[in-house]
Amino acid sequence: MSRIQTRFEHLRAQGRTALIPFVTAGDPSPEVTLELMHRMVAAGADLIELGVPFSDPIADGPVIQRATERALAQGVSLRTVLGIVRRFRATDDETPVVLMGYLNPIEVMGDKAFADAARAAGMDGALIVDVPPEESHELVDAIKAQGLDLVYLLAPTSNAERIEAIAEVASGFVYYVSVKGVTGASTLDIDEVDAKLAAIRARIALPVGVGFGIRDAATAAQVARVADAVIVGSALVGRIETLAEQGHAERIPTVIGDFLAELRAAIDETDHGGRHG
């Protein structure tokens, strides 16, 4: 059983919703990312998504695009990201880490070489944004041969056929994009999300995490009432950007940790009195 599966089973037994933060690896530096990962876990993160910098992040909004540019300016590559995970694993062997990125850097490395390196580094899964399930068989085989999970995105526009296709190949959890558009969108209709999750769960037995549009404790609590995981990205990356621009990169782990602790408290309050209660 993978670390991701183990973590979700543990949370389910406790009646708790997972908190999954996303940050771009290497923004504003690999050292800050490593410290930040540990601080996020201490603040209540259950899994971590690490974004791999890529020159053409088509699914990401301007906030994460700029984070990618900052990381690329630091020379951060896929191998750099795996190195950060390896160092994280030196003192944390329990928190699942999912790589989130695009196919091109993996193709450069090679499917099998990537899967082997990811496993050796201590990665638990991958979400490759631009790999549809119909075209990912070689990568799926390489990743699953190493016991890693392959996470897929579902959207408000995903029909039953698409959900069925992802059910065939996904493992660990699935990521539901709660609003149409790129990352950083802000319009969140929780009733629509709830209805779509019901349609997804009718076909996929995996936990369903919900991201996009989660910007504060209130929206995190809303999502926690209907989802198995609350995924937050742009709200974190925007804070990182502000601190880096102000010359206060050393404050990033503390500020992000404090913000995640607020989300964690709101989610736990919902779990104790709402959906899981």
> Per the residue annotation, which of 27, 49, 111, 124 is the catalytic one?
49
Tokens matching residue 23 = 């940050």
Token pair recorded at residue 123: 């990665």
Question: Has 60 been annotated as catalytic?
Answer: yes
* Active-site residue, 49 included: yes
Q: Is 127 helix (H, G, I), strand (E, B) or coil?
A: strand
Q: Which two tokens stand for residue 192?
A: 């629509």
How far, in Å, CA of 271 to CA of 257, rounded?
21
**Active-site residue (options: 60, 124, 228, 271):** 60
In this structure, how many other beta carbons lie within 10 angstroms of the beta carbon of residue 25?
30
Q: Is the dihedral of CA 21, 24, 25, 27 positive or negative?
A: negative
Cα(118)–Cα(104) distance, integer angstroms: 16
Question: CA-to-CA distance for 192 and 190, rounded, in angstroms?
Answer: 5
What's the rounded Cα separation, in Å, for the pair 186 and 178? 10
Q: Which residues does the annotation mark as catalytic?
A: 49, 60
